[in-house]
Every structure is written in structure tokens, then in C-alpha cells.
Amino acid sequence: FADPKNPGGGKRLEGATLYDILPTLLNRYQVEAPMGLRGQVLQM
């Protein structure tokens, strides 16, 4: 997972799934996730 605003900050995350991408992006941009959204926020 890499953040273009943080060059060189890409990380390999074990156990992450595709479902985790949207909650992580919403959290990154301080947008509240809708109820029932699958996945979890990845700690980077």
C-alpha cells in the first residue's frame, strides 16, 4: 500500500484484503465510513 503524498512510504501489509482499501482511504481523508462497510482501517 503506497500513499502518493508520502513518497517512499509504501509498505507490504500481511493479512490485508481488498475490503480494507476503502475504509483506509476514507479514514486517511477523514471521511466517515457508511454503516455496514466491510473491511478495516489499515495501520500504516
pLDDT at 7 exceeding the cut of 70: yes
Average pLDDT over residues 4-25: 84
pLDDT at 1: 66
Q: Integer distance in angstroms from the first to the last C-alpha of the chain?
A: 9
**Residue, of 21 and 2, whose pLDDT is higher:** 21
Task: Tell me how far apart the alpha carbons of residues 6 and 11 are, in angstroms, rounded to a whole number.
Answer: 11
**Residue, of 1 and 16, whose pLDDT is higher:** 16
pTM more than 0.85: no
Q: Where are the domains of the chain?
A: 15-44
pLDDT at 43: 84
- Other C-beta atoms within 10 Å of 24: how many? 20
Q: Which residues contact 3 (CB under 8 A, 6 or more apart)?
A: 9, 10, 28, 44
